[in-house]
Structure 1
Amino acid sequence: MSRLAGWFRSSAKPDDASATGSDSDSSRDNMAKEMEDIDDAMNSSGLIMNDDIDGAWEKLQTGDSSFHQLGLAVTIFMRCEARAWNDYKKAQRHGKARAGSKIYPPGTEYELVRAETQLMGAVVGVLHESLIEAMKSFYKLRKAFLTLDAIIAVEDKAFKEMEKAQAQAQAQTEDASKKVDEKTEVDSKDSSGLQTPVDPTDPSTAATSPSDEKSEEASLQSKPVTAETVLVDNPLDIFVHSGANMCFGILLLMLTAIPPAFSRILSVVGFSGDRERGVRMLWRSTAYSNVNGAISAMVLLAYYNGLLGVVDIVPDQKDFDEHADIVGPPREKCDQLLASMRQRYPNSRLWRVEEARQYSNEQQLSKAVEILTTGEESKMKQVAAVNNFELSIAYMFIQNWDGMRDAFLRCLEVNDWSPALYYYMAGSASLELYRDAIHRGDEDEARRQKVKVHEFYGKAPSVVGKKKFMARQLPIESYLHRKIQKWEERAKAAGIDLADAIGPSPALEMAYMWNGPKRMGPVELERAMANLKWERCTAKEEVVEAMKKEVDEMGIWALLNGTLLKRMGKYDEARALLEEHILKQDKYAFKGPTRDDYVPPAANYEVASIAWVECCNPPEGTVEEIAAYRRKKFDECQKQLDIVKVWEVYLLDARIGMRVQSGLETLAWFKKKMAY
């Protein structure tokens, strides 16, 4: 037994035989065991610092605590990278790899392994709550980036050579076919010099027709060999091709959606993302029925259903072309991809979540909830947590307040991303239940729900900052902390309870953060309009009137209503509301410790999205009139997005900025398509 265990045991009284004493002994034994595990795991992991990774691995395997598993995870990355480097050098010494790749130089497969371990190590470092660790991780990321870039360059060169060889072979085939045609033409002439007609209904002549043979050969060779069309069949080539495209595709895509703080770091280490190239690579990888293809499918579906699910300015289906799938979801391809994944992995809950997201994006929220609440729960904690969070926001969009409250409270049990947000969401749902009870005259229920509102909103600020990203507080937590502080100040000034000092629905304001209106059908939109009425507020009339005079409070109400009106097709009403209560106001009226500074840039974005909808749905007219109308609305959309793009720093700039950036990429696609 270790000295730590002995030290803890020595504090126990030998003559204490009571039940309380037994519990105390047990508690001390558990504490002693934990301290012993920490001591052993730290000592074992310390061997890494002495360049003895194998020794650390062997010693850490003798323990089964979380601390030992953490040490093993670190050694796995390090051992894998070291082993891959040794195997890479060995492959280079022995020439061609054993599998005999026709595309990649010897050892490329091990270079890919090293790049993957560097990527995983970088992810772990970025998630560490330290800016220094994050910086180190970005240098690892750069190493992986350069390795993957080199592999793809080799691959592209090989495919170009194959394409060139194919073109030469096809030219030779066409020359040979031409000579056969000329000879056939001479042979088919009769003695009078006239060509003998061929009966197309005669099967014997049809089967031997030289023109048919030529057509068949041409069709077999019509597809050029490119990274998009070729399917490799060598196991080594499949591993490298699918893996490199998966890793580099994810990297390039994710780098286009990073927050501003990371952009500054990336400018230091000198690399950037490429959304088009990344998406193409991921689609390439999905052609293979292995784990690389599955991960690529997962990322693509998350990109289309998740990231682009909160974006309004995407290609209209009427304008969709072969380049549009970079900036907008190709529905048919996504359906086929999801179906293939569900067939390949029938027991995975992950693909059910993606299916629910697709239904949600198609305004079928009830169907999404049905999928998320049926079937077996995932055995993987992470997948179960994602499923529950998707269910939580789906309930919020439907405005099922009981379901929303319970689902977000369960998030506290299965996920630790933001306890403050989960309590805030539960409080927002309870507030709606409180307002419902007040308006139907149920005093007992209203009293119960009011207690819950105060309980959950009271807990949220106490756990703000528990989870950080790069040592910084999550922006969404800063936002909700300011909201609660604002209500507390108003309640104190007016001499009323917190629950009665709240203005427009906080739940629907949070729904806006996930672009809930885009997912709402006609029923949910009408319900949301009703839930945003000032009459829902439970404060006295004079207090509500005072709220309306607060520029940022009225701005929130106008922003939420304007977004709903836009989704209902009432574009003029939506634009007028945004203009009157937000865009015509002094933007400095939205600034302050407890004010909502995101409202003006969000309003400009909404005006841009209205212009885009109008651009995609022009009124009837001549071709020239339609073209002029579309160009006018395109320019309006571009102007508004450019305004938001250069907006000064505000609290939720990452969320709004992501929508703006995606919108700008869509406009760039449309501009090229229309040759503006």
Structure 2
Amino acid sequence: MFSVSDAESLPDSRNPSPHRFTDNTESIFDDAVYSSQMTLKECLDECMEALDLFLNNHFSESLERLRPRVNESMYHALIYATVLEMQAMMTFQPDDISNAGNTMKSAQEVCQRFRRKSPGLANKSAGESLTEVQLHAEVCYAECQLQRAALTFLQDENMVSFIKGGIKVRNSYLIYKDLHTFIKSHNCLKGSSHVHLEGGISFGIGAFNLTLSLFPPRILKVLEFAGFSGDKEYGLSLLHDGATGVNLRSMLCALLLLCYYTFLTFILGMSLLHVLNILAFGVISLCYQAIALFEDGCKAQQAWKQFHHMCYWELMWCFTYKRAWKMAYFYADLLSQESRWSKAMYVYMKAAYLSMLPKDEARPFGEDEVDLFRQVPTFKQKIAGKSPPTEKFAIRKARRYKAPHPVKLPVPVLEMMYMWNGFSMISKRPELTEGMMQTLVEAEQNQYSVDDRCLIHLLKGLCFKNQGLLQAAEECFNKVCSSEKKIKFDHYLVPNSLVELSLLYIDRGRRDEAIKLLHKTKQNYKDYSMESRTQFRVHAALAKLKADPGDDEDTRL
């Protein structure tokens, strides 16, 4: 199984590829020796030092420490390429993405030279004779495959590239799966560098289990035919083990946990706080801590401005929660000028903040919300061949300003805040919820369409829920559902109101009613805005209630 590759030939040493790493160190490889100049342990120790530099904001120094040995050390090659890939994903510049892809391809070629030439762990006798270096080469090769797949999805939009990326993902998965089985059955393998090997396997198996577990059951069943499976709790436990250990993949495990807890679940538990401590208060950790530290995150370093954008995004929402529309606009404006990730979203938010200001109040920089709303569609982009759902939503909402006489959106900031789960974020701050309720009551005084009134009912219901007024919240959600046949455009309002109503029922101990509503949402509503987000919430709620078919099946790798 380990002989499976993506059929890319190694470069001829007499005619090196232009994509190869460039330095003057001669590459010497031997099955019995890891590096012509350094042992495996020495290479791992130097790479750990380079990672420490990176985590403490010394980005250039980190790359300089790694660069001299990228042609002779698989770990130097992998970590160097990983840093460039992180940079590419933040800048979203085509040249950076291309350079990172070529660098990761070269790293994979370096790893390939240390792999066993005959079939690996699929063959028991061959597996028994694998050296420590060859085991490390397998996990490094699998990681290169996985990261190259991520870049493929980010860079290319055609179906051929998408299939190639899928093949890389599957090859990586099979290698991790066999390695995991092999290591568990060979407890005697405890070399000096074993902790790094275990960390790499924990990252790979943990990432696959967690990611796959998030898919709805019907999609997961299809993936299972291709040999994939996922167990969320098992994946989280492996990532936690990897993040809390002292190994090269600690940072990757920690970052994946951060993404899961902050962006996918919005649940900041004690386990997350422990993960934050791992990152040693570098700029990455600053970006995920309390509001007071976001500005410190910007001050911590100036080399990679993209880290600032993470802070700008969070600061934008912090000021949104406080209804400081001009300050929120300021950070949306910075993002629209500096970040390439989602200009359509940033411009939409700029327009939305301006629309929340009184009609006679001066606009910053003399900008006009109508003009900005009309610009939103021009910034549409695709990632992995598809437009991000939030961009599609923003573009659709901005269409109301296309006509000569625009139809004003009632509370566009609060609507988008809901899409990013902002009402849950302020649930423990009564004064913030009260402010949002005040804005909604004021908006309610205007003459709006059925769609707009239903939006206000949905958002008021969330405020009532935060205030503990559950009966009032239920009435608001039911008002939206009873208006279903009158809604013309914002069809997402009904399935989302059903989800909110079901979550309210869960809080009130009405489990059976909640399950019924969740299944109704899942089965009866299709092709509405942000559907994947809503279906994800339905799946998560049903899984929590153990009501989804197949919940009790063992899906662990």
Shorter-chain TM-score: which interval? 0.7 to 0.9
**Range with greater deviation from structure 2 (51-60 or 651-660):** 51-60
Q: Flag structure 1 segments of 5+ consecutive residues without an equivalent.
A: 1-47, 94-100, 163-231, 310-327, 357-367, 493-497, 538-543, 616-632
SS, match of residue 288 in structure 2: helix
SS in 2 for 1:243: helix
Instruction: Give the SS at the match of 2:17.
Output: helix
Q: Is residue 334 from structure 1 mapped to residue 211 from structure 2 by the alignment?
A: no
Alpha carbons of structure 1 residues 608 and 69: separation in structure 2 relative to 1, 3 Å: closer
Q: TM-score, normalised by structure 2?
A: 0.74
Which residue is 2:59 aligned to?
none
Describe how 1:384-399 pairs up with structure 2 within 5 A.
384-399=308-323
Amino acid at match of 1:382: Q
Match of 1:374 in 2: 296
- Conserved in 1, the CA contact under 8 Å of 2:244 and 2:275? no
Say whether 1:567 aligns with 2:438.
no
Verify the 8 A CA contact 1:503 1:534 in the aligned structure 2. no
Contact 1:57 1:72 in 2 (8 A): no
Q: Aligned pair 1:643/2:520, yes or no?
A: yes
| The one of 468, 482, 492 aligned to 2:396 | 482
- The TM-score normalised by the length of structure 1 is 0.62
How far apart, in 2, do the equivalents of 1:482 and 1:597 lie?
12
- Residue 584 of structure 1 aligns with which residue? 482
Following the alignment from structure 1 to structure 2, what is the Cα–Cα distance between the partners of residues 154 and 613?
A: 45
- Counterpart code for 2:316: S
Residue type of the alignment partner of 2:424: K
- The structural deviation recorded for 1:563 is 1.0
Alignment RMSD: 3.6
1:154 aligns with 2:154: no
SS of the counterpart of 1:291?
coil
How much does 1:555 deviate?
1.3
Amino acid at match of 2:497: A
Q: 1:420 aligns with which of 334, 341, 344?
A: 344
- How high is the sequence identity, in percent, across the aligned residues? 22
Q: Is the 8 A contact 2:518 2:542 kept in 1?
A: yes
* Counterparts in 2 of 1:388 and 1:449: CA distance versus 1, 3 Å: closer
Residues 285-315 of structure 1, C-alpha deviations (whole Å, 9 max, x = no match):
1231233112212211221222111xxxxxx
Structure 2 CA distance for partners of 1:92 and 1:254, relative to 1, 3 Å: closer
Deviation by residue 1:5-57 (Cα, 9 ceiling, x = unmatched): xxxxxxxxxxxxxxxxxxxxxxxxxxxxxxxxxxxxxxxxxxx9995486124
Q: Report deviation, 1:125.
A: 0.9
5 Å-filtered alignment, 1:50-449, equals 51-52=11-12, 55-57=16-18, 61=22, 73-89=100-116, 107-127=134-154, 128-158=156-186, 234-257=191-214, 266=223, 269-309=226-266, 331-341=269-279, 345-346=280-281, 348-356=282-290, 368=291, 370-374=292-296, 376-378=299-301, 379-433=303-357, 435=358, 438=359, 443=360, 445-446=361-362
Q: Is the 8 A contact 2:20 2:102 kept in 1?
A: no
Aligned twin of 1:507: 413
Q: What SS does the aligned partner of 1:563 have? A: helix
CA contact (8 A) 1:119 1:141 kept: yes
1:646-661 counterparts in 2 under 5 A? Answer: 646=523, 647-661=525-539
Equivalent residues of 1:104, 1:154 under 8 A apart: no
Q: Give the whole-Å Cα distance in 2 for the aligned partners of 1:133 and 1:265.
A: 21
- Tell me, in whole angstroms, the C-alpha distance in 2 between the residues paired with 1:354 and 1:585: 40
For residues 153 and 218 of structure 2, the distance between their equivalents in structure 1, rounded to whole angstroms, comes to 12
State the Cα distance separating 1:115 from its structure 2 match.
Answer: 0.3
Cα distance in structure 2, aligned partners of 1:638 and 1:654 = 19
- Do residues 608 (structure 1) and 502 (structure 2) align? yes
- Give, as a single letter, the amino acid of the residue that structure 2 aligns with 1:296: C
Q: C-alpha separation between the residues in 2 aligned to 1:645 and 1:586?
A: 16
- Kindly indicate whether structure 1 or structure 2 has the higher relative contact order, using CA contacts under 8 Å at least 6 residues apart: 2
Is the contact made by 2:319 and 2:328 (CA closer than 8 Å) also made in structure 1?
A: yes
Q: CA 1:249–1:448 in 2, change beyond 3 Å: closer, same or farther?
A: closer
Any gaps of 5 or more consecutive residues in structure 2? 1-7, 24-92, 121-127, 553-557
Q: Which has the larger radius of gyration?
A: 1
1:519 aligns to 2:435 (yes or no) = no
Q: Is the 8 A contact 1:56 1:75 kept in 2?
A: no
**How many angstroms apart in 2 are the aligned matches of 1:70 and 1:427?**
30
C-alpha displacement at 1:132, in angstroms? Answer: 2.5
Amino acid across the alignment from 1:244: I
- 1:26 maps to which residue? none
SS in 2 for 1:85: helix
Asked if residue 459 in structure 1 is aligned to residue 375 in structure 2, the reply is: yes
Distance verdict in 2 for CA 1:153–1:50, change over 3 Å: closer
Task: Report the secondary structure of 1:473's partner residue.
Answer: coil
Q: Name the CA shift for 1:139/1:55 in 2 (closer, same or farther; >3 Å).
A: same
CA deviation profile, 1:406-457 (whole Å, cap 9, x unmatched)? 1011112332121111111011111112x2xx5xxxx4x3577995212322
How much does 1:122 deviate? 0.4
Task: List per-residue Cα deviations over 1:478-505 (Å, max 9, x = no partner).
Answer: 222222223445x73xxxxx4xx42431
* Letter matched to residue 335 of structure 1: L
Moved >6 Å (runs of 4+): 66-71, 90-93, 101-106, 259-265, 447-450, 669-673
Residue type of the partner of 1:573?
A: A
* Contact 1:430-1:450 at 8 Å conserved across structures: no
Which one has a larger percent helix, Structure 1 or Structure 2? 1
| Paired residue type of 2:150 | V
Residue 429 of structure 2 is aligned to residue 551 of structure 1: no
Give the distance between the partners of 2:270 and 2:395, measured in 1 at CA.
42
